[in-house]
Amino acid sequence: MTLDPRDWPAFRKLAHEALDVAIDYVEDIRERPVWQPIPDDLRAALRTAAMPTEPTPLTAVFEEFRETILPYATGNVHPRFYGWVHGSGTPSGIVADLLASAMNANVGGRDHGAVEIERQVLRWCCDLFGFPPEASGLLVTGTSLANALGIAVARGATGGTERRAVYASATAHNSIDKALRLCGYPSGTLRKIPVDEFDRIDLAALDAQIAIDRAAGVVPAIMVASAGTVDAGAFDDLQALADRRDAHDMWLHVDGAFGALVILAPTLRDRLAGIDRVDSLAFDFHKWMHVPYDAGALLVRDGAKHRAAFATAASYLKSTARGIAGGAPWFTDFGIDLSRGFRALKIWFAIKEFGTKQIGALIEENCAQAARLGERIAASEVCELSLPVQLNIVCFRYRPPGLGGPALDALNEAIALDLAESGIAVVSTTAVGGRRVLRVNLTNHRTTDADLARTFEAICEAGARLASAGVP
């Protein structure tokens, strides 16, 4: 008895069929709607089907997948997906993933190839950001978790959670709030410092808050810098923050979810000046490197502090000097997971195949596209920019003459909804200055200028149509 196929040739045939379907899916992505709603009857069936006790032929499982799951994707593989910050994936990511699946490595520890590949990828990243040889790292699901683990390291290095102040900009990502909460910081620990006109942390306001905290006997412990804010794509001034870290003996963590990879883009990398001075950095590979979900990393300048935050001793996990139980230090001592998948492989494939220059060039291209879209909006009579375009994000409103207030908010929400339901494009919405606005995010290597032109036209068309129909 085994879970292996009884008929290997038949299995192999099905697997190759599935691979063709997978490749077709990406190759033909332009021919399909960006997104389409799940039909009500399908949803109801999914929500009531009982757990199967008996086997189903793999061919039937695959057919069910093709009919009921594949058509209802998030949409982020499509060239006209600009919602939130999603990467687009790559065909070669499929190859890396199927190979990783076959190896089925557990990269928690021990001595085997997958561990060395994760080490290599992490060393490359440490080198890239100018971290020293004693730096450490860990691949994780994504930046939210990496932020949480980074905060846990910082907590250990800064003396715990009591009477401690943590600083981040008012526009820092909500994963910072979640990280502090998970790590047991009392609510109110996070000081949300106002931002300047470019959405960067206001340094004078930061200094003032630190002084207030010191005067109150609260220890300034951690600063969290944003390298790429969600709505403006702003980078906090890392040099200035590192100076304050030095002056106050704090920990400086960077949330670089999508922004950290501008290190690869020659015309943008100066925004990260000072990144080689920070204590820890969290960022994603599944965004601007387009590695399939999920893949992020935490890097820590002082590897010993990193390990101290998570290492434990367990008799059943004793490592040896040589043999399969060798390979110390084990990755499990640098994070929470003991069982860890081989997510390093898809990153390794992407970096090798594309090379860092090409990834950097695509990041620059997305930013140039955002700038061009911004110019188009600025020149439009029915749209207005809600924030200056600094990076790859365009926040704007469709604003026909005579409309404002909540009705305008609702109109823009309706436009985003209409666009997605039409299958033409996916944009998200956000709040800027208390108003609901459209948000076009470009972390998409498939988007062309023609895609953006079509999207902008569709927004204007939907806006006019919905407004004239009295929507909302």
CA–CA separation, 167 and 206 (whole Å):
8
Residue 341 sits at the vertex; the CA angle it makes with 337 and 344, to the nearest 5 degrees, is 110
> Whose Cβ is closer to a second copy: residue 250's or residue 351's?
351
Tokens of 370: 């955002």
Shortest spacing between CB 367 and a second copy, in angstroms: 13
Work out the burial of residue 297: count CB atoms within 10 Å of its CB; fewer than 13 is exposed, 13-18 middle, 19 or more buried.
buried
> Whose Cβ is closer to a second copy: residue 302's or residue 337's?
337
In the block, tokens 């590979």 appear at 285
Q: Are the CB atoms for 283 and 257 separated by under 8 Å? A: yes
Tokens of 371: 């700038």
Identify the CA nearest to 46 among candidates 67, 68, 63, 66. Answer: 68
Residue 62 one-letter amino acid: F
Shortest spacing between CB 365 and a second copy, in angstroms: 6
Shortest spacing between CB 179 and a second copy, in angstroms: 7
> Whose Cβ is closer to a second copy: residue 128's or residue 460's?
128
> Whose Cβ is closer to a second copy: residue 60's or residue 204's?
60
Shortest spacing between CB 46 and a second copy, in angstroms: 5
Tell me the sheet residues that pair with 283.
297
Tell me the sheet residues that pair with 192.
168
Strand order in the sheet with 81-82: 81-82, 426-432, 435-441, 393-398, 383-385
In the block, tokens 């047991």 appear at 184
CA–CA separation, 426 and 36 (whole Å):
10
> Whose Cβ is closer to a second copy: residue 151's or residue 238's?
151
Q: Which helix (H) or strand (E) holds 266?
A: none
Cβ-based neighbours of 80, under 8 Å, separated by 6 or more: 34, 424, 425, 426, 447, 451, 454, 455
CA–CA separation, 359 and 133 (whole Å):
25
> Whose Cβ is closer to a second copy: residue 200's or residue 439's?
439
> Whose Cβ is closer to a second copy: residue 125's or residue 210's?
125
Shortest spacing between CB 323 and a second copy, in angstroms: 4
Full DSSP string of 6-65: S-HHHHHHHHHHHHHHHHHHHHTGGGS-S--PPPHHHHHHHHHPPPP-S---HHHHHHHH
Cβ-based neighbours of 66, under 8 Å, separated by 6 or more: 21
Shortest spacing between CB 374 and a second copy, in angstroms: 18
CA–CA separation, 189 and 396 (whole Å):
33
How far does Cα 373 stand from its chain's mean position? 23
CA–CA separation, 259 and 344 (whole Å):
20
Tokens of 265: 């883009």
> Whose Cβ is closer to a second copy: residue 101's or residue 239's?
101
Shortest spacing between CB 278 and a second copy, in angstroms: 19
In the block, tokens 């390298």 appear at 227
Shortest spacing between CB 25 and a second copy, in angstroms: 5
> Whose Cβ is closer to a second copy: residue 380's or residue 388's?
388
Shortest spacing between CB 469 and a second copy, in angstroms: 17
> Whose Cβ is closer to a second copy: residue 237's or residue 413's?
413
> Whose Cβ is closer to a second copy: residue 95's or residue 203's?
95
Shortest spacing between CB 103 and a second copy, in angstroms: 5
> Whose Cβ is closer to a second copy: residue 20's or residue 246's?
20
Shortest spacing between CB 226 and a second copy, in angstroms: 13
Shortest spacing between CB 430 and a second copy, in angstroms: 4
